[in-house]
Amino acid sequence: MRREEVVGLIIIAIFVAGAVEAIVLPHVYTPQPLEFLHKILPSKYWSPEVFELKFKNLVLVKNYHKTVEDLPKVTKLLVKIYAKSCVIYIHEAKEGILYNISAYRSAHIFASGTPELEITETELSKDTYLIDVSAQKGVIIIEVSPELTKELDIEVKSAVAEIKLASPSLSKLSIGIHSTTSKIYLSQLNNTSISLKCSSSTFSAEIAYSNLTLTSLDIEVRSSTGKVGIKIPENTSAQVTAKEVLSSSVRIEVPGCSKTLTMGSTTVGKVTDKGLLVNIKVYSSMLTLAVRQ
């Protein structure tokens, strides 16, 4: 085949690929990120210059998704997420979607960095699936099934993040954030065990349990500023224990009083066999913890 013919075939292939992308990608189930960006990004991001450069005309780069019909035997979904230098949003998927993960970039000609998004799927058993997500740069949207996700391990570095989940099936949740501005909203939790570790970050978290027998919430904060709100059901209790508080300010707000806690415990609600054990370790930080029923 002559060189001219090869070049011609390459050009045709490029045009065909572009046409397929233009037709197929817009119809892949993906969320729109701008609404949540307005909610979570600091005000400096919304100056006309920054918005024009980073977020106007976001373009879908990659999308991975599976429906419940694709994997009908899966009843347990384990998800591991590592994200760096990006804007990331993690929340529950719509009914019938096992997971849906998208990466966007700005269409601006001077916008730097192409999102990197890789997904690894591992079948641990006939009914258990592990999804390993690695993401960097751009805007990353991750949706997981609230009914089937049993364990979630999230690590975010040098990013802006919002985690918003209403997941009654979630038994174990681990969140680690470093050099990140984040907002965390967790609701409808059913005896979920949680580990929250924050370093060099600014964060807020609202955690609401709909059912409690006995579980733990472990909070470790280093060189950070944060506020955590906890809501527990009636007829349960929360015992807050300061295990280590070094060069820090820890403010505990409970119904009827507010106090600084440097060591020891305080309890919210009538002590029964049903409750939440909150263990805090704080180093060179400012933390406010509010507990209510």
Measured from the Cβ of residue 63, the count of other Cβ atoms closer than 10 Å reads 17
| β-sheet bridge partners, residue 246 | 283
> Closest Cα to residue 117, out of 93, 87, 99, 137?
137
- Cα separation, 182 vs 202, whole angstroms: 7
The mean per-residue pLDDT over the stretch 178-194 comes to 94
Cα(264)–Cα(244) distance, integer angstroms: 9
The CA distance from 240 to 291, in Å, is 9
The tokens describing 102, both together, are 């998208």
* Percentage of residues in the chain having pLDDT higher than 70: 79
CA distance 134 to 119: 7
Which residues contact residue 288 at a Cβ distance below 8 angstroms, ignoring those fewer than 6 apart?
Answer: 226, 227, 228, 250, 251, 253
CB 282 within 8 A of CB 244: yes
Q: Is the pLDDT of residue 52 over 50?
A: yes
Residue 5: its pLDDT value, please? Answer: 47
Q: Which long-range contacts (CB under 8 A, 24 or more apart) does 162-166 make?
A: 162/36, 162/39, 162/40, 162/88, 162/89, 162/90, 162/91, 163/90, 163/91, 164/89, 164/90, 164/91, 164/92, 165/90, 165/91, 165/92, 166/92
d(CA 138, CA 158): 12
Element (H, E) at 14: helix 3-24
Task: Work out the pLDDT band at 12, boundaries 50, 70, 90.
Answer: very low
Token pair recorded at residue 213: 């027998």
**What pTM, to 2 d.p., does this model score?**
0.83
Give the model's pLDDT for residue 60.
86
Phi and psi at residue 202, in whole multiples of 5°? -120, 125
Bridge partners of 249, per DSSP, are 286
Place of tokens 């929340």: 91
Q: How confident is the model at residue 187 (pLDDT cuts 50, 70, 90)?
A: very high
Q: Are 103 and 117 in contact (CB under 8 A)?
A: yes
What whole-number distance in Å separates Cα of residue 116 and Cα of residue 205?
27
Tokens of 208: 């609401």
**Signed CA dihedral, 233, 193, 196, 118: sign only:** negative
**Which tens digits make up the pLDDT trace of 87-97?**
899 999 999 99
